[in-house]
Amino acid sequence: MSAGTEQRRNEVLRAIVSDFISTQEPVGSKALVDRHKLGVSSATIRNDMAVLEAEGYITQQHTSSGRIPTAKGYRRFVDAIHEVKPLSRAEKRAILDFLENGVDLEDVLRRSVQLLAQLTRQVAVVQLPDLRVGRVKHCEVVPLASQRLLLVLITDTGRVDQRNVDLAEPLSDDDAVRLRELVNKAMVGRTLDEACAQIAKVAQEAKSRTTAAELCDAIVAVSTVLVETLLERPNEKLILAGTSNLMGVGDLAPVLEALEEQVVMLKMLNGVRDMHWQVSIGEENEDEELRKASVISAGYGSSTTVLGGMGVVGPTHLDYPGTISSVTAVAHYVSRILAGE
């Protein structure tokens, strides 16, 4: 077979996939000739379609109908996508403006899936950051009353946690300043696990030293709350948006169940290792619940560390170029916001 014939058949397959994604109707040779400038006759197109069908890239549901792509056909189509279609300047600005209005990390991620669901008309998912890769950036200690403090824990992954601490005895302003210094000296720059161990050590040392009773009690109370906060693992959590987009799609009922249980999607997003987009189509999905679906995902984070994965789940006939473009753009802008750019 000549290189020209191979190239033409790739174009025919690309046209069939594009038309089916657009219309969700079987595609015939006449429609291909009418819609696409392939430069050959209907007879040649029919021959190419017969070869593509024999090779498993397209299939015919009924004898008299046109062809529809198979999962193998979608994979070949996706593998031919080498460059992501760039968004317009207005689209980029709209995405950034919407995401930048998030009040904290979780709000930014919640906005990101809302945006992805709107852009793609599919289900969007995002995984909260893996705390094990985070380090403490700062811990603010704010007196709310003489016997109540507000702790604001900030990590370099953008996570912000707020906790109230009730004290047994009133704490002076000077002791509140001293407490803030002790807490930040123990925790800043350390991983969450390291900070957890260090703040517990500070509390233990305070008991054994001649620390003023009020400050000692405050250190113990604050360290207890911080240890409980640091031990939490909210990365084992997904934020979803757009589940209504899959309602009524019979083949995808198991997908909705998997999304509700979260375990399947968490396992998939945990497998995201870098910032480049990846596509898993139909039977390529390890879990049975996703065998009728396609998943397009990408990591978000810094240039050196992936903090979590985000993506879109939909039918195998979803708009691959447009969805890849949307997922890539939103993941990129979430990463920029987390980096403070």
Q: H/E/C letters for each residue in 171-234?
A: CCHHHHHHHHHHHHHHHCCCEHHHHHHHHHHHHHHHHHCCCCHHHHHHHHHHHHHHHHHHHCCC
pLDDT tens, residue by residue, 186-238: 899 988 788 888 888 888 887 776 556 778 888 888 888 888 877 765 555 78
Determine the topology of domain 89-128+236-338 in CATH.
Answer: Beta-Lactamase (3.30.450)
Q: Which class would CATH give 133-231?
A: alpha beta
pLDDT tens, residue by residue, 4-21: 788 889 999 999 999 999
Residue 117 CB contacts under 8 Å (≥ 6 apart), including other chains? 123, 124, 241, 242, 245, 312
Q: Is the CATH number of domain 3-79 3.40.50.300?
A: no
Residue 250 above 70 pLDDT? no
Q: How far apart are CA 303 and CA 190, in angstroms?
A: 20
Residue 321 above 90 pLDDT? yes
The answer to whether 306 and 300 have CB atoms below 8 angstroms apart is yes
* pLDDT attached to residue 325: 93
From the number of C-beta atoms within 10 Å of its C-beta (0-12, 13-18, 19+), residue 198 rates as middle
Report the residue count for the chain. Answer: 341
Q: Which of 131, 126, 132 is nearest to 262 (CA)?
A: 126
pLDDT tens, residue by residue, 40-95: 888 898 899 999 999 999 998 776 678 999 999 999 999 998 888 788 888 888 89
Mean pLDDT of 146-173: 84
Residue 152 above 80 pLDDT? yes
Residue 234 CB contacts under 8 Å (≥ 6 apart), including other chains? 128, 131
Return the minimum-mean-pLDDT range out of 158-172, 199-213, 299-313.
199-213
Summary mean pLDDT of the chain: 85
Residue 51 CB contacts under 8 Å (≥ 6 apart), including other chains? 9
Q: How far apart are CA 145 and CA 147, in angstroms?
A: 5
The answer to whether 282 and 293 have CB atoms below 8 angstroms apart is yes
Q: Quick one: how far is CA 6 from the chain centroid?
A: 37
Q: Indicate the domain borders of the chain.
A: 3-79, 89-128+236-338, 133-231
Q: How far apart are CA 186 and CA 200, in angstroms?
A: 9
Residue 229 CB contacts under 8 Å (≥ 6 apart), including other chains? 151, 153, 161, 163
Work out the angle between the directed axes of helices 253-261 and 263-270 (0-180°, nearest 10): 80
Predicted TM-score (pTM) of the model is 0.74
pLDDT tens, residue by residue, 118-147: 999 999 999 887 656 678 888 998 888 888
